[in-house]
Structure formats: structure tokens, C-alpha cells
Chains A and B, each alone.
Chain A
Amino acid sequence: MHNKRKRSSFTGLIRRCVALGLILPLMAGTAGCWDRTEVEKLAIVAGLGIDFIPGPEPILLTVQIVNPSGLQKGGGGSSSPPFLTLSATGATILDAMRNFAKASPHRLFYGHTNVIIFGDRMAREGLHPVMDYLARAPEFRRTFWILVTPATAKEILSVKLDLEDIPALGVTEMVKEFRQSAAAVIERQKDFLSGISSKSGAAPVSRLELLDADASINERLQEVTAGDSQQTSMPAQGKKQLRLNGTAAFRKDKLVGYLSDAESRGLLWITGKLNGGSVIMPCPEDQQHKISFHIERTKSKVIPYFRDGKLNIKIDIEEESSIAEVSCDKLDVSKPETIKQLEELQAKDIEARIKSTVEKCQALRADILRFGDTAYTRFPKLWKERYEEDWPDHFANLPVAVKVTSKIRRAGMTSKSGGTTK
């Protein structure tokens, strides 16, 4: 009896093994391996740039491809560069991407594209067709950063970056660092899409520019040392550098204008994304010297309300800071009254910045401040009835009040100006 049971389980096993032996090659033949690609056969696209050239093939794609053999450590004097840029044009973005295949022995792999840069012209034409493809194609991430450049994306992607072998990866690092220090609003693709499809119908995008910073600095240094010109021999032209500077405002999918660096910071104040950063302002009664504060904590509230049947916006900001630098002569920060005075001055300063940002946005008729969203959440019916149509126009004429409350918590490690003890 026992023997019988054992034997039957054994035959069962044999049968199962035979079945598995038949199924496995079938599975391998029908399902497997067809999309297998070895890593070294991929051209890893680190950054993608999209420009617009009017004509039959308007889309110009520029890809920055990583060249791993150029990155090998200690591989001797191999002179191959760490990255390559390729360009292709096409009627649509997909068409352009297909055209790459004609020029590249390896398949272009977009799974690691972390940054997409749009040229000014492209952004003004409207990102809709491009964004549609990027959202539809499975290979692209949903988290890549969007940047706009007043120059062309092709130019930007050909520039080498100091300290980073692959500029596109360097830009990604820059973007992350920038977000950390809260210097500008930088959006991922998904945030951008949600911004332009929201009630506000606008989104901010960071602006990446190509700047010859060295040149202007050298020029200024030249002025300082104008007296003895033998000592300075700085070149009038420096290296071109990438710099994140300011914000591009999009209404729907079209670029409508740029905000300056200072205005971009106002944007952060309003949207409450400011964590860190500093406020620098002139000393009271002494415009020559500066005093600066390190921002520790901010809280912003955008309150929509109706007065006389018209929509108003009140921006309420609470801010806590500590003193970071004092170069004023006659200022004793150990006195509570001084602190009080500084708090008021600081509040006024911040208020002014925010106001200028709001005015700029209203002038551009781009609600990147998300007032539309806030108003809609608070008064959905009224907003729909009166403001949904022509929101940009309504936004441009919206009365906005700003109120800032400042608190200085600490004076840093010393209470005297200049670090002296007396």
C-alpha cells in the first residue's frame, strides 16, 4: 500500500518534470529575450533638449549621451569625452527620435533622462504636443525636471560643466541643491502638468541660462584695479557657465515671460515653499551697510474673500528668522527695542518683494501663484459662475493685500557687530 503511494507520486513528479521541460523552451521562445539589451549597447540619454525651428521639420531634439568609456578611472590617456551630444530634427518629437536611429549605433535609452530643457522659442510655441508624447511614452520618467532657457537647448547641452563629467547630471544636482536652498521654484514634469491643468492654468518653470559670469566679474575687477594695469591680466572673456536664474511663467502650455531672481523668491514666499534662504536689507538709518537674516521658518496663507461682491486675495505670512550678518555701526542687537524695530523693517522689506512678484505675475496674466486654485477650493460655485472664463484677465485685476509678521528669534553666536567682544 505504502509502496504504491510512493510510486504514484514519483510518476507524478516525472510527468511534471516532462511538462516543465516542454513548457520552458516554449516560454523562452515565445516570451523571453526579445527586448533584452545589454547595458553597454545602450546610449544612456542624460539630458534632452527640445528646440523649435520654423519650417517643415520644426522639432530639433538634442540629446546628451553618456560615454562610459570616457569616464573610466585611471584608464590611461584615453581622450574620448565623457559625453556626446547628438541632434536630429523631425516633424514631431517621435519623428525626430526615430531619426536618431540613423545616426547612432546604439539604441537611445531615455529611462535615465532626468532633465529636459526647452528652448525659448519652443516654450513660446507651446509645449502641448511634446508633453503629450513625454507623458505617453513608457520609457520616460514622470519625475524629470523641466527647465527653460532663453538661449537654445542645443547650446545648453553642449556646454561642459565644472566638477561634473556629464553636464546633464550636473544640472540635475544643481536643481536639487537649488531646491534645498529654496532659491527658485523648480518643477518636475508631473507638477508642471498639474499646474497648467489646474484652475489657475499656469505653472512656473525654472530658467537656465548660459552666462559668461567670469567676463563681467573680470570687468569689474579691472575697474577696481584700474590704477595699476600691469598687475591684472585677466582675460576679458571667461568660460561660459550654466546658471539657474529666475523663473519662466507659463500660461497654459505657452511661455509668456520671465521673472527675475528676486521676483522668483517672492513666488516662493507666497507658495510657502521657502525653507531656508536669507533676507538681505540695508541697515536702518544707514543705507551703505547691510544687515541680513537667516530665515528659519515661514508659514504662508493665501486667503480669498469677497468684498462688495468682488474677489479679493489676502496673503498672510508669518516668518521667523535669526540674524546672520550685521555690518551696521550703530546697532545694538542685544536690545529688545532694536529687535522690534528690525522685525518691522524686515516685514516691510518682505512685503515689498512679494508685492513686486504679484504685480509681475498680474502683468504677465499668468496665475503661477495658484490664486485661482485657492479661490476655487474656497468658493467653488461663485468662482465657476463669475471667474472661470477669462480667469487670466480677472487675475490681472485682482486686488491683493500682503501682510507679513516677522519674528527674530536669535542673534547668532555674538551680540556685537563685527564679532568683537567690546
Chain B
Amino acid sequence: MRRKFIGPFLRPLLKNKHPDSRREDRESKNLPPSEPCLQQSLVENLALLQKIFDHCEDVIFREFTIGEQQARAAIIWLDGTVDRQLIDDIVLQSLMQEARKLPPNGDISPPQLHTLIRDSLLSTTSIVESYKIPDLVDRVLTGFCAILIDGVEVSIVASVRGEQMRSVTEPETEAVVRGPRQGFTENIRVGSALIRRIIKTPDLKLETRKLGRLTKTDVAILYIQGIADEKVIQEVRQRLGRIQVDSILESAYIEELIEDQPFSPFPQIAHTERPDKAAAELLEGRVVILIDGTPFALIVPTLFVQFLQSSEDYYERYFFAFLIRSVRFLFLLIALSLPSIYIAATTYHQEMLPTPLLISIAGARQGVPFPAFLEALLMEVAFEALREAGVRLPKTVGQAVSIVGALVIGEAAVRAGIVSSAMVIIVSLTAIASFAIPAFNLAITVRMLRFPLMILAAVFGFYGIMLGYLALLIHICSLRSFGVPYLTPISPFKRQGMKDVLFRAPWWRMNNRPGGISPNNRQRQNTPRPGPKS
């Protein structure tokens, strides 16, 4: 992968192999020619496994005899990922106690014993058989308990998972005043269950796969058959299938590995921590990707306007949704361009400000040694640093940082005449505005784009800001997320979709699902307008 980045310039010098051939090499290394199978002899199997799990002290081997048969057996599990109580109650109890009721003597051959155990002794729901060593190893590592019986070349693998996990709590990043208080947890099963609890239809499909050579992370694709677009589902499967990586630690890994335009500053895949939001997206025809180990689910395809919507818009009455969304759109513009507008207006277009405002800005700037641009840059960088410091520090210290930053530095800098009070207002307003954007990833983008806009404003004034706006507009018009234009429903224009952009139509008017995402099963509801007459 690193080679690729030097690629275009240095490739001729390095005289590398063709990338395709390198790739084949790697694939062949990935798949050993033959996988070792289990043997009949328990001793041999155990020796092999003990070699594999050498220095893995949390993998426990427990040997015992089954019932009156005196058949040797062993169970293997990874301590910490299993529920010991379950092993005691279900596996050992049935094999050591219940098995005594079996007829004694050597009447039963080991394979028969195996069948018996599998079919009638183990009182647990989830049982699989494993023939191959690597498969067995994988399962042990994911919290299964493997039962090996002497004389049988198959292992029974029973799920006794019982890891420590966080309980379902309120999502911290997407809190609402009104609405469900549940959030996803790091456990993928909890996640899918939470969605299933909301959407109770067999049409809600879930396809799981393991990604990451070493982490073997469970990744699940969820969609509602008949509502989601088949092409998009297929595209998701394909893009996930293309991933070759050793680890998936967070949804961001997958986001970066499957997004459409990796060089764009704009986020092209939304994420959520809320099952109700994930369900809503599923019902609009989108595909949700759940990833084990993180409470964040990915949502594709993603539209730009999604980042400015919050689940609360749908839980409060629609008038309020309109009001609050207009504020968000306004604040998006403020967060993006207020410092640059200030720079442009005060250094090039003084005639555009109202006279009293100009006079007070000029008064505030008396004695400030830096030009407006440098001043703005200084303050913006200081703010970013302050924010970063506040995020990383523990909560108690974080408050101290904000006090020092806001009061001491801000106040002192203005008093000392190093920055003007007008600039402090501009920077704080911009900061507030960037926090008013509900999606954190879009807020980051906006914060980044602020700086090039400020440079443009410092060099060209409003003309530069307009150039910047145009470049951004052209760029986001060209973006696509899983085949859907990023600016849908604004451009291309979709009437149904426009009911949920700036203005959220009341539910009794949103008869169809938003256009552009999926062509299937468009009708959402058919309630007439409520009122006493109906």
C-alpha cells in the first residue's frame, strides 16, 4: 500500500513488479494449500492444539472421562470470553453426570458416542461440528467451547459465550431530549437485536462476514429486502469483499476502505450510535453496516443533508423541526465562512459594513499589531488547540482548561491589545456554530475548510470567498455515495426528498420514501390529514 503512494513518480526508478503480480503473491500466502484436519487420537489432537496455543495461558484445556464409558475427552475454551457457569452446567454436567445413565461397557463406539452427545446430551442451543484445526482454533478464539473425544475426528463446538460487556446505555454523541434512550454497544449481536426489536419483519436481512485477517471482526450488512436497492446492496457486498486488511478496530476503518471518493474532505458515509436512527435509515431504503467492537454503525448511501438532520427533528413537531433546521443551515454557513467574511469585509470591503459597525470594529482594532487575517488565524488555531486539549483531558481537568483558555487568555489578549474584541466574538461565534452541526464528522470538515477560505479571503476578498464557495459547490456536486449523488434531493432535484431537507413535512404528508435512494416500494404511509372530521 505504501508503495502505491510513491508510485506515480518513482515507479520507473524502483523497477517494481507489476502490482497485479504482487497481489497474487499475497493472496497465495494468505491461503495455505491444505488445512490440517483433526485426527482420531485425542492425544495427538491435544498435542497439536497445545502447540498452536503455546504461551496462550488463557486457553484452557480440561481433560476428563465421559460417563461409565471411560471414554477420554477434553474441552478447550478461551477463558474470559466464555461463561464458566455455562461450561459447568451444560458441558461438564451433561458429559460427566448425565452420561452415566448411558449403558456401560464398550457397547458404544466413539462415533456413536459423539452422535449421542451431539443429539441428546448437550442441552445448549448452539452447536456446530468442526473438522479442521484452523476452524476449531477460530471458534475457540471467538468464545466457543470445543469438545474433543478420543477416537473421533470431529469436534463438537458449543457456544458458551459470556464475555463482559457494557450494558445498553444512552448514546453520548447523539443525545436527544425526546426519543428512545438506547444506544448500540460494542457487541454486534446487541446491535442487531436492538434494530430487530424496532423492525419486526423477516424482510430485515442480516448478512455477516468476518473482516480483518487477525481481528476477524464480525461485520453485518443489514437491509430491508424490497425497500433497499438491490444494486446498492450488491455494491456494499462487493466493496466489503474487496477489503484486505489485518484489522478492523472501528467503523472508521471500513468507512475509509469503502468510500467513493477518498480524497474528498467531505464525509461520504454517515454513522450513528442510535438504533432508532439506524432503523429509520433502513426504512428509507438504506443499508446499515454493523461492526463488532464499536457502537457506531455505518449508513450507506449517505446524502449531504443527512449530516444536518438529527433524529430529534422527527420526534418533535414539524414546525420546530423547520425552525431548528434553518438554524443549522445558517450555522453551517457561519461555521464555514464567518472568519473569512470578517477578514474580507474589514480589509477590502469596508464600505459594505454599516457605518457604526465599521467604526466600532476600527475602534476595537486600534493598536492590534496583526493584520486581520493573521489575527483570525491565530485565534482559530488557539481555539482548535483549546478544543483538542479539552477533549483529551479528563473531565475535571478539562474544565480548568476551558476556564484558562476562555477567560484568562481571551480576556488578557484583548486587554493587552494583541487581538481585538471583535475577533474574539467572531471566533467564538464560529466555534458555537460548528458545534451546532449535529454530525461531528461534517463539523470537522467545515472546520478544516475554514482555513483555505480564510486564505482566499485574505488574498482576494469577497471575490476569493466566492471562488472558494464555487469550488466547494462544484466538488460536492460531483460526489457520489454508493452511486447516489451527494446533493440529492437538491441536485438532482427530487420533490419527495425535498419534503425532508430544510422543512420536514408532517408525517401525514410524507406519503413516499425520499426519492433517489431506492426505487423500490416507495409508499410510506397513507394517513389522511388528521382532524376531527376524519
Task: Determine if B362 and A42 form an interchain contact, defined as CB atoms under 8 angstroms apart.
Answer: yes
Decide if A112 is an interface residue (CB 8 Å cutoff). yes
Least CB distance from A417 to B in Å reads: 45
Decide if A226 is an interface residue (CB 8 Å cutoff). no
Select the residue from A3, A33, A38, A141 with max chain B CB neighbours within 10 A. Answer: A38
Decide if B286 is an interface residue (CB 8 Å cutoff). no
Select the residue from B358, B362, B464 with max chain A CB neighbours within 10 A. Answer: B362
Residue of B20, B365, B368 touching A3 (CB-CB under 8 A): B20
Q: Is the interface of B mostly helix, strand, loop or mixed?
A: helix
Decide if B346 is an interface residue (CB 8 Å cutoff). yes
Within B424-468, which residues are at the interface with A (CB < 8 Å)?
458-460, 464
Residues of B within 8 A of A39 (CB): 346-347, 350, 358, 361-362, 365, 372
Give the nearest-CB partner of A15 in chain B: B8
Residues of A within 8 A of B33 (CB): none
Task: Determine if B363 and A72 form an interchain contact, defined as CB atoms under 8 angstroms apart.
Answer: yes
Task: Determine if B350 and A111 form an interchain contact, defined as CB atoms under 8 angstroms apart.
Answer: yes
Decide if A14 is an interface residue (CB 8 Å cutoff). yes
Within A197-239, which residues are at the interface with B (CB < 8 Å)?
none
How many interface residues does B have (CB within 8 Å)?
30
Task: Determine if B351 and A7 form an interchain contact, defined as CB atoms under 8 angstroms apart.
Answer: no
Decide if B355 is an interface residue (CB 8 Å cutoff). yes
Decide if B41 is an interface residue (CB 8 Å cutoff). no
Residues of B within 8 A of A69 (CB): 363, 366
Task: Determine if A10 and B8 form an interchain contact, defined as CB atoms under 8 angstroms apart.
Answer: yes
Decide if A288 is an interface residue (CB 8 Å cutoff). no
Cα distance A35–B462 when bound, in Å? 13
**B-binding segment of A24-32, A181-189, A364-372:** A24-32
Q: Mark A41-75, 1 if CB is under 8 A from B, else 0.
A: 01010100000000000000000001011011000
Task: Determine if B7 and A10 form an interchain contact, defined as CB atoms under 8 angstroms apart.
Answer: yes
Least CB distance from B479 to A in Å reads: 14
Cα distance A104–B359 when bound, in Å? 18
Task: Determine if A28 and B355 form an interchain contact, defined as CB atoms under 8 angstroms apart.
Answer: no
Task: Determine if B4 and A7 form an interchain contact, defined as CB atoms under 8 angstroms apart.
Answer: yes
Residue of A11, A38, A68 touching B363 (CB-CB under 8 A): A68
Give the nearest-CB partner of B363 in chain A: A68
Residues of B within 8 A of A32 (CB): 458-460, 464
Residue of B4, B19, B371 touching A38 (CB-CB under 8 A): B371
Cα distance A21–B368 when bound, in Å? 31
Decide if B348 is an interface residue (CB 8 Å cutoff). yes
Task: Determine if B366 and A7 form an interchain contact, defined as CB atoms under 8 angstroms apart.
Answer: no
Within B297-343, which residues are at the interface with A (CB < 8 Å)?
none
Cα distance A389–B36 when bound, in Å? 116
Cα distance A10–B263 when bound, in Å? 9
Task: Determine if A71 and B7 form an interchain contact, defined as CB atoms under 8 angstroms apart.
Answer: no
Decide if B478 is an interface residue (CB 8 Å cutoff). no
Task: Determine if A112 and B348 form an interchain contact, defined as CB atoms under 8 angstroms apart.
Answer: no
Task: Determine if A37 and B350 form an interchain contact, defined as CB atoms under 8 angstroms apart.
Answer: yes
Residues of A within 8 A of B360 (CB): 68, 71
Cα distance A69–B371 when bound, in Å? 18
Task: Determine if B351 and A139 form an interchain contact, defined as CB atoms under 8 angstroms apart.
Answer: yes
Cα distance A173–B262 when bound, in Å? 56
Residues of A within 8 A of B32 (CB): none
Residues of A within 8 A of B (CB): 3, 7, 10-11, 13-14, 27-28, 31-33, 35-40, 42, 44, 46, 66, 68-69, 71-72, 109, 111-112, 114, 139, 141, 166, 169
Given contacts A3-B23, A40-B365, A139-B351, 20 further A-B contacts (CB under 8 A): A7-B7, A10-B7, A27-B459, A32-B459, A33-B459, A36-B348, A37-B348, A39-B347, A39-B361, A40-B366, A40-B368, A42-B350, A44-B362, A66-B362, A68-B362, A68-B363, A72-B366, A109-B350, A141-B351, A169-B356
A–B Cβ pairs within 8 angstroms, 29 of them: A3-B23, A7-B7, A10-B4, A27-B459, A31-B459, A32-B458, A32-B459, A32-B464, A33-B459, A36-B347, A38-B365, A38-B371, A39-B361, A40-B362, A40-B365, A40-B368, A42-B362, A44-B350, A44-B355, A44-B359, A46-B355, A66-B362, A68-B362, A71-B360, A112-B351, A112-B355, A112-B358, A139-B351, A169-B355
